[in-house]
Amino acid sequence: MRHFTDLAALDAAAIERLLESAQELEAEPLRETLRGKVLGLVFFNPSLRTLSSFQAGMAQLGGSSFVLAPGQGTWKLEVRDGVVMDGDAAEHIREAIPVLGQYADVLGVRAFPEGKSLEHDLSEPLLASLLRHTCKPLVNLESAMDHPCQALGDWKTLDDTGVPRRGGRMVLSWAWHPKALPLAVPAAVLKMGAMRGMDVTVLRPDGFGLPAPVMERARALAAGAGGSVQETEDREGALEGAHVLYAKSWQSPRYYGDPNGESALRSEFREWCVQESWFRPARSDAIFMHCLPVRRNVVVADEVLDGPRSRVVPQAANRLHVQKAILLDLLGGSR
Ligand code: CP
């Protein structure tokens, strides 16, 4: 593996190797395999899990890491090509990324979408630019439309819980949130469920359907893996016999780049907060998943988050194990 930027760039055998490696690393966490190796982490946006789990993971493998938050103690970085840099940004990623590659053996970057044009953000221009300028392996720590580390950790959580791959039924449900949130996590989770061969239903109110290219790609991946992808606003029907309810809020693609229109539409759906009663049509052992951070009693009720269905902490724990497997693979360390 040269980079880790998109789960769908890996074949089934490569994913299986990463999951096996993560299982071994969970059982035996401490290694010296990456002694002397350095991970450089660049966070254009905030994080709790991704930042701390990558630093902890690198330390547990014998290596070290540094973190930059551009504009907060380091130069603000320009990411657009061809601009006159007479604003806040003192340095361009065209220099910054190759320079960081002189100090680090692997780089991880988190950069959320610009949020103005859906077509622009769907094409992942910043991720493409980072890949052009890096001389070292790159890990996508969440880009405009993807969060592959989250998706791989969630795949492991589903395996650990015994949710079947083929025949496993996952409902990816939209939830209300006071802010318009990016599409990266729902797109990544949908892709993961499809690649895992599950039957995935996207449950969302009218106006919150995921972008057509995201749905089309997921349908193609599901077809190749023996699964399926549907979408509906019928909650009861979607959850009939479900193994998993994965909740996430995302902004309306219909009003992308139009905050007022988006906010007006979203305000109609405040009752989309996951309650225990939502699980009535599901399997009795159905689980609840969310990538975190999550707003209690806004996205999901305390009764679900604190109840036996919740897998949110094991999901976060699995981020550590799978990311260590990714680092070992990228840096050529033997297991
Ligand atoms: N799920 C996730 O990526 O968490 P952070 O935003 O805290 O890194």
Per-residue pLDDT tens for 250-301?
Answer: 999 999 999 999 999 999 999 999 999 999 999 999 999 999 999 999 999 9
* pLDDT at res. 31: 96
Q: Looking at ligand 1, which atom is closest to the CA of residue 316?
A: 1
Is the distance from the beta carbon of residue 48 to the nearest atom of ligand 1 less than 6 Å?
yes
In Å, what is the CA distance from 53 to each residue of 17, 65, 108?
Answer: 20, 11, 12
Q: What is the pTM of this model?
A: 0.98
Mutation to probe ligand 1, out of 47, 55, 67, 290 (largest number of atoms < 8 A from CB): 47
Q: What is the pLDDT of residue 334?
A: 53
Cα(332) to ligand 1 centroid in Å equals: 26
pLDDT tens for 194-252 read: 999 999 999 999 999 999 999 999 999 999 999 999 999 999 999 999 999 999 999 99
Q: What is the band of 147 on the pLDDT scale with cuts at 50, 70, 90?
A: very high
Nearest CA among 78, 247, 251 for reference residue 172: 247
The whole-number pLDDT of residue 333 equals 65
Cβ(264) to ligand 1 under 6 A? no
Mean pLDDT of the 147-154 span = 99
> What was the pLDDT predicted at 283?
98
What is the DSSP secondary-structure string of 172-237?
EEE---SS---SHHHHHHHHHHHHTT-EEEEE--TT-PPPHHHHHHHHHHHHHHT-EEEEES-HHH
Instruction: Give 195 Cα–ligand 1 centroid separation in angstroms.
Output: 22
Ligand 1: nearest atom to the Cα of 48: 7
For position 222, what pLDDT does the model report? 98
292 close to ligand 1 (CB < 6 Angstrom): yes
Average pLDDT for residues 148-169, to the nearest whole number? 98
Structure confidence at residue 63 as a pLDDT band (50, 70, 90): very high
Is any ligand 1 atom within 6 A of the Cβ of residue 47? yes
CA-angle at 175, arms to 172 and 180, nearest 5° = 115
